Structures are given as C-alpha cells and as structure tokens.
Amino acid sequence: MVRWLAAVAEDVDREADRLTELDSAIGDADHGANLKRGFAAVTEVLGKEPPPSPGAVLTAAGRQLISTVGGASGPLYGTLLRRAGKTLGEDAEVTRERLAEALGAGVAAVSQLGGAQVGDKTMLDALVPAVEGLRSSYEAARAAAEEGALATVPLQARKGRASYLGERSIGHQDPGATSSALLFAALAETAGAEGVA
C-alpha cells in the first residue's frame, strides 16, 4: 500500500499540469496542483512512520488528503481511502478481491458524499468501473478506469463545479475521472512490479 501511494504521488506529480489544464476548462484550474501537494504530503507522512497494516496505511493517507488538499478533491479522495482503510481493518494481508471490496466501500462513500453517480461526469465514472475491473485483475481495473475517464468527454456535467457550465462542459474530459484513472494505473504498476496476481 505504501509503494502504491508513492507511485500515485509520482504519477500525479508527472501529470499535474495536464490535470490542471483539464480543470481549467471546466473547473477551478487547481486540481493538479492540489493533488500534487496532497499526495506529496501522504508520501512524506507514510515515509516517516508506516502504519502497521494495509488498512491503517489507507486510513492515514485519507486523513492526510483531507487535511492537506483544498477544494472538493481532498474530501473526496480522503473519503475514498479512509473508508477503504476502515473496511480492511487490521488485516495483515490483503487479497485483490478484498481490496476491490474495500475500494468499493470507499467509492460508495464518495458517491454518498458528493451525491453523484456514474454518468454525472465525475471521478465516479472512472472509479466505479475500475473497482468492478479489479474483481478480475489489476490490469482490468486500469483499463476500465482509463475507459471511464475518456467516456466523460461527451457527457454534460451534472455535479460539481463543472455542472455550472451546463452544455459547455460537453467535450471536455473530467479531471477527477482522469486523476482516478492515475490511481488505478499506479496500482496496476505496483502490483505488476511485485508480481502480485
């Protein structure tokens, strides 16, 4: 989990300008900078004293994101990871199926918090199919998240800041769905590097 979140931080750092560019079209133009700061803080906290279990790692990361990241993305990503961490509990080992279950609980919490669902042009358009894909494999999760993010382009935003634009939000890829896809790309990379099935 620590290596996964470190990989997320690297990917977000690399893609921060693109995320901000996407966000400048339909949001506040701060998504990349906010997530970059947030995941850098997560890496720093986990590096000092890694929590004792995978669930505790995710819970600590979620707490850090909520306290570090402004805008909507801090509470949303923080809720995703905290709820997933709490679902895993103190288990020392986590299977892919169990992680899918935990992240599914996190996604449900995000949906509840933001009042959004698939098709509203939000991070859920990538997260929901990714969790479903994770039940099969890490690569399926990555592919499903990327497809979900791309599928937001023709949608009209119905939630979040982009919804204020109405029809003008059509034709733009959602930044939250795009960063969510990075989360699962990093997970697939980390699992692949460690030979985890």
pLDDT tens per residue across all 197 residues of the chain = 999 999 999 999 999 999 999 999 999 899 999 999 999 999 999 999 889 999 999 999 999 999 999 788 999 999 999 999 999 999 999 999 999 999 999 999 999 999 999 999 999 999 999 999 999 999 999 999 999 999 999 999 999 889 899 999 999 999 999 999 999 999 999 998 877 76
Say if 117 falls within a structural domain. yes
Say if 81 falls within a structural domain. yes
Contact in structure between 113 and 73 (CB atoms under 8 Å): no
Evaluated on CA atoms 8, 64, 67, 86, the torsion sign reads positive
- One-letter amino acid at 2 equals V
Say if 192 falls within a structural domain. no
The pLDDT assigned to 196 comes to: 77
Say if 126 falls within a structural domain. yes
Say if 143 falls within a structural domain. yes
Say if 60 falls within a structural domain. yes
Domain of 6: which CATH number? Answer: 1.25.40.340
| Closest to 177 (Cα-Cα) out of 132, 140, 138, 122 | 122
Say if 195 falls within a structural domain. no
Find the DSSP H helices in 27-156: 31-48, 54-68, 73-88, 96-114, 124-134, 138-150
What domain range includes position 167? 1-187
Look up the pTM and report it: 0.95
| Closest to 149 (Cα-Cα) out of 118, 183, 173 | 173
Query: What is the tally of structural domains in the chain?
Result: 1
Say if 194 falls within a structural domain. no
Contact in structure between 171 and 21 (CB atoms under 8 Å): no
